[in-house]
Amino acid sequence: MSNTAIPETQFSIYKIDTSKVIETFFPNEDNPSTDDMLRALINSIEKILRGKGVNCAGFSRLKYKGYSGVVFKTIHEPIWKSTISQMIINNKSKKASSLPNDFLFNTNISYVLFHTYNECVYAMTGGYGSFYINKFVERNYGLYLLPKNPEKGQSGSKAYYRKQFDRQSYFNTSNQSH
């Protein structure tokens, strides 16, 4: 095991159920455009982020080569914060007592990127991004990738989960022939 551990993060791909988007944002319209649906989804994410107040450290819209979406930074207070805070306050170490007030908060960078292909809308998410679109995704479609940093001498396989019908199946690409 190396001294510099890089945390693993999930990258997911979803297919957006446009009927759910229409039902939520366009109940009185017959056929909104894909661009209108993307705009509504992005506006919805931004509205949720604005509602988080100080728990949202910022967000920005992205638009690049057919992808559009939002990248954002959120701050979360861990459930164990009060316990460790008491230990820091009562600690005899000057270094521990000089930690900034926000030291024990978790900061996360997340994103949701949308892409259209053949009249279908797909979303790619990282971090907490999937929580902002989960009510709009097709339940029988999805790909969850868990990147893995192999140690020297290990295979470069990556494990991933794929949603298949109503169950999740585990696949290890090192065990599959291509």
* Alpha helices, H only, 52-174: 81-89, 94-97
Kindly list the distances between the CA atom of residue 106 and the CA atoms of 8, 55, 77, 79, 91, in Å, as whole numbers in the listed order. Answer: 16, 10, 6, 11, 22
CA-to-CA dists, residue 28 to 2, 23, 137, 161, angstroms:
57, 9, 21, 37
User: Hey, where are the domains in the chain?
Assistant: 11-142
pLDDT of residue 142: 62
Q: What is the pLDDT of residue 54?
A: 86
Separation between Cα atoms, residue 105 and residue 95, nearest integer Å: 18
pTM of the model: 0.71
Mean pLDDT per 10-residue run, the chain (178 residues)?
53 92 92 94 96 92 95 92 86 78 89 93 93 92 58 46 37 39
